[in-house]
Amino acid sequence: MSKIVDEVMTANAEYVSSFGDKGNLAMPPARHFAILTCMDARLDPAKYAGLAEGDAHVIRNAGGRASDDAIRSLVISYKLLGTKEWFVVHHTDCGMETFTNDVMGDLLASSLKTSTVDASGWHDSGNGEGTTDGKFIQWLTISNLAQSVVDDVKRIRNSPMVPQEIPIYGYVYDCKTGKLNEVAEATAAGRPS
Residues that bind Zn ion (CB under 5 A): 38, 40, 94
Nearer of residues 38 and 70 to Zn ion, judged by Cβ: 38
In whole angstroms, the minimum distance from the beta carbon of 40 to Zn ion comes to 4
**Eight-state DSSP code of residue 23:** G
Nearer of residues 88 and 94 to Zn ion, judged by Cβ: 94
In whole angstroms, the minimum distance from the beta carbon of 106 to Zn ion comes to 21
- Give, for 155, the enclosing helix (H) or strand (E): helix 145-157
Nearer of residues 38 and 107 to Zn ion, judged by Cβ: 38
In whole angstroms, the minimum distance from the beta carbon of 44 to Zn ion comes to 13
Show the DSSP H helices in 27-163 as ranges: 45-48, 68-79, 101-110, 145-157
> Residue 70 phi/psi, 5° resolution?
-65, -40
CB within 8 Å of 133: residues ≥ 6 apart: 108
The residue among 31, 42, 34 whose CA lies nearest residue 71 is 34
In whole angstroms, the minimum distance from the beta carbon of 37 to Zn ion comes to 8
> Residue 39 phi/psi, 5° resolution?
-80, -5
Nearer of residues 94 and 108 to Zn ion, judged by Cβ: 94
